[in-house]
Structure 1
Amino acid sequence: MLEEGIHSGRWKSGDRLPSEAELVRQFGASRITVGRAVRDLQVAGLVERRAGSGTFVKGARDPAALSFGMLVPDLGETEIFEPIWQGIASSPLARAHALVWGSSAGSKEEQAWGICRQYIERRVSGVFFAPLELTPAKDEMNRRITRALDEAGIPIVLLDRPAAPYPDRGHHDLVGIDNRRAGHVVTDHLVRLGARRIAFVGLRNAAATVDAREAGYREALHARGLPCDTSLVHRLDPTDVAQVRALLDADHPDAIVAANDWTAARLMHALLALGIAVPRDVRLVGIDDVPWAPLLPVPLTTFRQPTRQIGAAALAAMLDRVARADLPTRDILLHGSLVVRASCGAPPGGASVSGA
């Protein structure tokens, strides 16, 4: 709406845009939506913000500039995607281009499909797509979205996760971390601390990244000569105290690898509610290193994702793909690092360990 107003000449170079409060009243949108739209214009180089004065039009974007859509159904639920977006937006490569957001109503699947259709109608230059998870229909909808964008000739760069379950891969570039290695690193860390009955916990219908992290967990146990008992692998709701109690009674784990920090945090609260001390009774680790990981009742040991760097690498990959459609499909996997905190039971003063 704002971009169209600038290109149509409604607001000319040097004009001051209405305040965000005025735009909310004018367009009937939420303050968050208006704020995001203004930030998108700033990233695209169409406006500049002057402290104490307001937001001013810089002029229409260069016709050679590109516009890229963000399709992240789990934004706001999965904490890694906001800093990934910030990494894309703050990259020097983004200055000549526009990052746009779509919006749609309905279920998560309906919203994702609606935004996909908007991007096709708008003829964006490419789409950054973080495939759906945590819904039984995720694989079907992810295939539908990638097929529609492919048919429209719109390049896709996948963020964090593939769009199809393993071993299917598809032909789209992917930028993230080596999730199998992340699972291996956190599991091996627990083994080196003395843990011998290590459980793995993830959510049902999770993204393929969780399967890869589970594979790394299994490989770490095998490499250390420990049995990999399939009964120790669980897909459950970590907020359900009864399910967590059943896991403890059946498996008697001395440590748990959570598929991500979201799961680890809820497991920690369930364990504490059951009177299980972390790490005295059960050591606990996660993966991602979200901002609140050190603020949990017991600060969480986890594997840090370099999220902003993932965003910058994703934009570079997209520009490469737009320039050369014939490039081979790439997995661009950035290094993460183990961040040692109290939940694993390591001696005080344990330091972060960089990825190799």
Structure 2
Amino acid sequence: MPGGPLHRSIYEQLLAEIQSGVYKPGERLPSEAVLCERFQASRITVARAFQTLQREHLVTRRPGSGTYVEKPARQDSLQFGLLIPDLGTTDIFEPICQGIMRSPAARFHSLTWGHSTGQEKDLERAAEQLCQQYITQKVAGVFFAPAEFTETRGDVNRTIATRLQEAGVTVVLLDRCYEPYPQRSHFDLVGIDNHRAGRMLTDHLLETGARRIIFATRPNSAYTVDARIAGYRDALYSFDSRLTPVSISGDFEDPAWVRRMLDRERPDAIVCANDYTAAHLMQTLISLGIRIPEDIKMAGVDDVAYAKLLPTQLTTVRQNCAEIGAVAMAVMLDRLENPLRPVRDVLVRCDLIVRASTCSNAMN
């Protein structure tokens, strides 16, 4: 079956049949054995498709009986709020929001894209106002992506989280926690394994022959970046304990600052905290006459739309933002039904995408 992993294709086919009424609420789906024969797939593959349907509250599995189309547990429509201070300035959140809205699990519910009152330009103040707005509206839950890039972000994020918790509003964190890595809040979180992302990129650069690898990040970045730095450090140490990790933070659009940094560190490769940082740094390096990847190899995280449109196509770690959104909705509904369930990190798969910025002969 074309169009991606087989388990995903099976899931999409069964989803279409459920939504079109081929299988009605309360009706039993074909057995795994029957579906294995139908799709020419293994039991493990069919089971993964069932697990996705179950995670999205579309089916329920009854031991010894089979898998049944779920009857809507709630006749009322729940209202959820989005609290994303960096929406519009960070590339990953728009597709995450689209994933939330398009999730089959969201079909009975509504999502509020709030706004601050007045003409408030301070994003942190606007986020606090939106938090209070959601509490006043008595939303069932809030999808919260803590703010970054300000010195007071930690205090503001904790204030918002505390207010929501005291008001009894269920919270699911998107992409990041508001507690410094490796500390953890008391809310469910849906994202990627950022430690693994940092390690994958660094391992790849080491395999290409790079040895003076530095990590570049903007000041006051989200704590997910700290996890990526930890993965970067682990990769260097595992490869050769004599290699020295170097993390830099500064103005990557300032040619003079970047030139001084290059003269000081003499890197042959740079792991960037995200594609946004990589894009700006790449433009500055090119303006300084630096060839990529011949002089310096570069890599980022996110695989945003413009990663393939840069002067040198960017090697990056791809995170499936739409899937993060869909899983976040399923986690939210599960938390409402099971408030005593242990707090979870739900990690969506991320993949290394190799392009010309690290390998001049890479296939894009």
In structure 2, what is the Cα distance between the partners aligned to 1:156 and 1:102? 16
Output the TM-score relative to the length of structure 1.
Answer: 0.79
2:350 is the alignment partner of 1:336 = yes
Instruction: Return the offset for 1:166.
Output: 2.1
In structure 1, what is the Cα distance between the partners aligned to 2:105 and 2:170? 17
Match of 2:145 in 1: 130
Instruction: Return the offset for 1:153.
Output: 0.1
2:289 is the alignment partner of 1:289 = no
CA contact (8 A) 1:193 1:346 kept: no
The residue correspondences of 1:312-323 to structure 2 (distance < 5 A) are 312-323=326-337
- Aligned with residue 145 of structure 1, among 151, 160, 163: 160
In structure 2, what is the Cα distance between the partners aligned to 1:111 and 1:297? 36
2:114 is the alignment partner of 1:99 = no
Query: Percent sequence identity over matched residues?
Result: 51
Match of 2:324 in 1: 310
2:213 is the alignment partner of 1:198 = yes
CA contact (8 A) 2:181 2:224 kept: no
In structure 1, what is the Cα distance between the partners aligned to 2:115 and 2:138? 16
Runs of 4+ in structure 1 over 2 Å off: 226-230, 345-350
Letter in 1 for 2:225: V
Match of 2:20 in 1: none
Give deviations 1:313-344, integer Å, cap 9, x for gaps.
00000001111111110000111101111111
Secondary structure of residue in 1 paired with 2:107: helix
2:282 is the alignment partner of 1:268 = yes
CA contact (8 A) 1:160 1:177 kept: yes
- Aligned with residue 86 of structure 2, among 69, 74, 97: 74
In structure 2, what is the Cα distance between the partners aligned to 1:225 and 1:167? 24
Output the TM-score relative to the length of structure 2.
Answer: 0.77
CA RMSD of aligned residues (A): 1.2
- Aligned with residue 89 of structure 1, among 101, 111, 123: 101
CA contact (8 A) 2:182 2:227 kept: no
Instruction: Return the offset for 1:348.
Output: 3.4
The gaps in structure 2 that reach 5 residues or longer are 1-73
In structure 2, what is the Cα distance between the partners aligned to 1:119 and 1:229? 47
In structure 1, what is the Cα distance between the partners aligned to 2:344 and 2:362? 41
Match of 1:252 in 2: 266
Match of 1:277 in 2: 291
The gaps in structure 1 that reach 5 residues or longer are 1-61, 351-356
Residue 189 to residue 93, structure 1, CA distance change in 2 (3 Å): same
Give deviations 1:275-326, integer Å, cap 9, x for gaps.
1111111000000000110000111000000111100000000001111111
